[in-house]
Every structure is written in C-alpha cells, then in structure tokens.
Amino acid sequence: MSHRHMTEEEDVLPDYDTDIDEVHPNQESADIRALKIPSTSIATVHESGFGEFLLKAELQRAISDCGFEHPSTVQHECIPAAILGRDLLCQAKSGMGKTAVFVLSTLNLMEKEEGKHITALVLTHTRELAYQILEEFNRFTKYLTHIKAKVVYGGVPVTHDKKELAEPPQVLIGTPGRVLHLVNEGIVNFKFVKHFILDECDQMLEQLDMRNDVQKIFKNTPHNKQVMMFSATLSDDVRGVCKRFMHNPQEVYINDQAKLTLDGLQQYYVNLAESQKNRKLVNLLDSLEFNQVVIFVSTVDRAKALNSLLESEKFPSICTYGRMDQDQRIEKYKTFKKFGSRIMVATNLFGRGVDFERVNVVFN
Ligand code: AMP
C-alpha cells in the first residue's frame, strides 16, 4: 500500500529531476522484471490457470465465462503483487491483457461491506477507452452484483452525471477533465478511494494540462491507497513522474522498450501525391482480404469526406471523430466492436488502448 504524503511544495507539478532512485528497466533488480517476450499478445499465456491467484469464486466464474483459460504474461507478472495491494507500474503493449490486471485485482480486494462509496478510481485519456474499461468491469462483476461501475467523460451534460452518481458506484472510471469537474462541483467524493489507477498513464502525464488535472484529483484521494499505472510505452521521464505518485512500486516491463513494432505485424508504405490517395485506398480495400479495417486520418473534415467517398463506393464504412456528439461516438465504437461495420474512419481517438480484436488492417 502506498503511504505517500504530498507536501505543500508538491502542489506544483512534479518536475523531472526528482530524487527518486531511478532504476532502469534493463538493470538487474529484484523488483523489476524486464521481460522480453514475443508480443504475439494474449497468445503468450502461462501453463498455469487463473486458479493460482486464489481469486474470489465469483471472479473465477466470470473469468471462465469470458473464455480466459490462462493468464497472459502481463497478468502472470502483475496480478500477484496487485492483489496484495502493492503499487504497480507496468509497461506492456496494447492487447496483452493489462485491463484485466487492475479490474481483477481491485474487484478481488473489494469488500462487501464497503457499500456505496467510490473505492476504485480509474482515469484514462479517451472516452472510448474509459467506456471499454467499464465494459471489462461489467464482465467481471457478473457474479458480484453488489459491485457497480460507472463511467464519466466530457461531452455529456454534467446533470446526467449528477443524476447517475447520486448513488455512487464502487468503481468510477473517467477522463481527467470531467472527473476533476465533478470533484470541484462536490458531485463525487474520493475520501474512500483505496485504488487509484491510471491506464495509458503516459498519455495523461505527458500533457501538462491533463497531468495537472490528474494531480489535483490525486490530492482529493486519501494518502493510504494502492496506486497502479499502466502504459504501452513509458519514457524514462514519464516513469520518473509516475513514481512520484507511488510508494515502492512493483515495476513490470514487458518487451524491449526500444522496439516499437509488434512482432507479426507487417508494415508497408506507398509514396503518393495527395490527389492519388483516395483512388489507391479504394483499390487496396477492393483487393485486400480484410476482416475489419481502421483508417486513421488527421482531421475531422478528412474523416467526413473519406467516409462519404467510401460509402458512395458501397464500402461498409462508418466514421468517428472528437467533435462528434458523445452518444454517437460511443454508438460508433459499439457498432464497430460488434462487427456492425467492416471499416472505421477515425481521427486519433482510437490510437491507444482501444481493442478491436477483429481488425487486421490499419491505414495511417
Ligand atoms: P487489453 O490488453 O487489456 O486491452 O486486453 C486485450 C483483449 O484480450 C481483451 O479483449 C481482453 O478481454 C482479452 N484478454 C485479456 N486477458 C486474457 C486472457 N488471459 N485470455 C484471453 N483473453 C484475454
């Protein structure tokens, strides 16, 4: 458990040259497992089953309902420490099962008599990812019906959240801006928080305004709590910042940080003039045998225009972007996740952490 006491001087943002004992992931340390595993994601599983973690029976049942047979490497490495309430800093690529680490461990530690207080707070940088985390909590609370999880994010009227949170859930997931707003308005109370979790923490801690929000939220939580942070990438700088929120964390680094590409992933590029791009894309979509495709574009206008073009060419395409109405944005996410459309044109909302398991081709 963390016993971090933030002092007055720490009201300012943490700076980078802290006095924390920096330990490089590649250095030998009892606490650090710098594992180099093939990143064929979830397929890298352990012989042992989930039974070894001695989780609650209700969780074991939900795990087997989800069809999870063996823990993935990140789960194998992190869950034992996490279920003891230890602080955790974990870097592992998307798709390796990081979400289940904090979902299972917090649910396992949650006690029945904790009642109607927010005891676990999860922050992440995008609304889609927040929603995806909610779904993971919902899956695993199938037999823990007294535990509720709720999600909050911008783009939705605050009055809606106020109504929803009149009965506080034990788990609150949200984006930093909205969560801070709700704290400032006195709509949520974090006095009972025991687990403070940042998913894709670098995305929040690298952006000064978001980091500021995260820090203010953190200060509204009790000193004694478990802090867990996860990220697909973690620079030395951000790692230092993360550790300022923690007390003697277990550090787990899966995969060589310098390696930016996933094994098994093939990348191609074509040099094209702007005017040739649409035609080439349509030709590729015609000739490639894809399951689901995501096409990333840089602007909202381009997303709309490309989606219209694809629709006019009779491709099953939908699009999503930041300025879209929030309900619609989640609706698009759900449609695509459920295979309701084969092609998604998106601005970088889905760039990190969001898991569409059927996608096998991505255009940038
Ligand atoms: P994540 O990296 O947390 O986004 O997880 C990626 C996907 O893998 C999600 O759809 C999870 O439900 C799934 N998953 C996580 N852990 C396991 C496991 N041990 N066995 C099978 N699937 C898993």
* Residue in the block written with tokens 């989640």: 330
Q: Are 117 and 168 in contact (CB under 8 A)?
A: yes
From start to end of the chain, where are the E strands? Answer: 2-3, 32-35, 88-91, 120-123, 149-152, 171-174, 195-199, 224-231, 250-254, 292-296, 317-320, 343-346, 359-363
The reply to whether ligand 1 has any atom less than 6 angstroms from the CB of 234 is no
Same domain, 198 and 56: yes
Quote the pLDDT of residue 1: 47
Residue 33 is predicted with a pLDDT of 41
Q: Whose CA is nearest to atom 5 of ligand 1?
A: 97
Q: What is the CA radius of gyration of the chain?
A: 21
Can you read off the two tokens belonging to residue 204? Answer: 């929040």
DSSP collapsed to 3 states, 120-136: EEEECCCHHHHHHHHHH
Name the DSSP letter for residue 275.
G
Contact 352, 129 (CB under 8 A): yes
Classify 158 as helix, strand or coil. helix
Is residue 14 domain-resident? no
**Residue 303's domain is classified under what CATH number?**
3.40.50.300
Q: What is the pLDDT of residue 285?
A: 86
Residues 352 and 111: their CA atoms lie apart, in Å, by 32
**Tens-place pLDDT, residues 58-97:** 999 999 999 888 898 899 999 999 999 999 999 998 788 9
* Strand pairing report for 2-3 and 224-231: antiparallel
Atom of ligand 1 nearest to the CA of 72: 19
How many whole angstroms from 96 Cα to the centroid of ligand 1?
Answer: 6
Q: Are residues 238 and 350 in the same domain?
A: no
Long-range contacts of 329-336 (CB under 8 A, 24+ apart): 329/127, 329/128, 329/155, 330/127, 330/128, 330/131, 333/128, 333/131, 333/132, 336/292
**For a pocket test of ligand 1, which of 37, 42, 78, 140 has the largest count of ligand atoms closer than 8 A to its C-beta?**
42
Angle ∠(217,162,205) on CA atoms, nearest 5? 25
195 CB within 6 A, ligand 1 = no
Query: In DSSP terms, which residues pair with 199 in a beta bridge?
Result: 230
Tokens of 361: 């081709």
Determine whether the shortest distance from the Cβ of 171 to ligand 1 is under 6 A.
no
Q: Does the CB atom of residue 130 touch ligand 1 within 6 A?
A: no
* Judgement on whether residues 245 and 287 belong to the same structural domain of the protein: no
Judge if 154 and 92 occupy the same domain: yes
Indicate the DSSP class of residue 187: S
Tokens of 358: 């059927």
Atom of ligand 1 nearest to the CA of 99: 3
- CB-ligand 1 contact for 99 (6 Å cutoff): yes
229: containing domain? 35-254
pTM of the model: 0.71
Going from the Cα of 101 to the center of ligand 1, the distance in angstroms, rounded, reads: 10
pLDDT at position 181: 97
What parts of the chain have a pLDDT lower than 70? 1-47, 113-115, 255-265, 349-353
Element (H, E) at 39: none
- How far, in Å, from the CA of 276 to the mean position of ligand 1? 38
Whether the CB of 92 sits within 6 Å of ligand 1: no
pLDDT of residue 117: 93
In whole angstroms, what is the distance from residue 151 CA to residue 122 CA?
A: 9
Per residue in 112-162, pLDDT (tens digit) is 766 689 999 999 999 999 999 999 999 999 999 999 999 999 989 999 999
Q: What is the DSSP letter of 304?
A: H
Residue 238 shares a structural domain with residue 293: no
pLDDT at 113 (0 to 100): 67
In a domain, 266, yes or no: no
Q: Are residues 250 and 323 in the same domain?
A: no
How many Å lie between the centroid of ligand 1 and the Cα of residue 64? 13
Among the three residues 220, 254, 288, which one is the final residue of a domain in this structure?
254
Residues 243 and 306 grouped into a single domain: no
Q: Looking at ligand 1, which residue's alpha carbon is closest to its atom 19? A: 71
Contact 19, 240 (CB under 8 A): no
Cα(354) to centroid of ligand 1, in Å?
A: 11
Find out whether the beta carbon of 72 lies less than 6 Å from any atom of ligand 1.
yes
Cβ of 97 closer than 6 Å to ligand 1, yes or no, is: yes
Mutate to test the pocket of ligand 1, among 72, 136, 333 (most ligand atoms within 8 A of CB): 72
- Helix/strand/coil percent split, the chain, to 5: 40, 15, 45
Query: Which of 254, 283, 318 finishes a domain?
Result: 254
Residues present in the chain in total: 364
Instruction: Please tell me the total count of domains within the chain.
Output: 2
Residue with CA nearest ligand 1 atom 8: 97
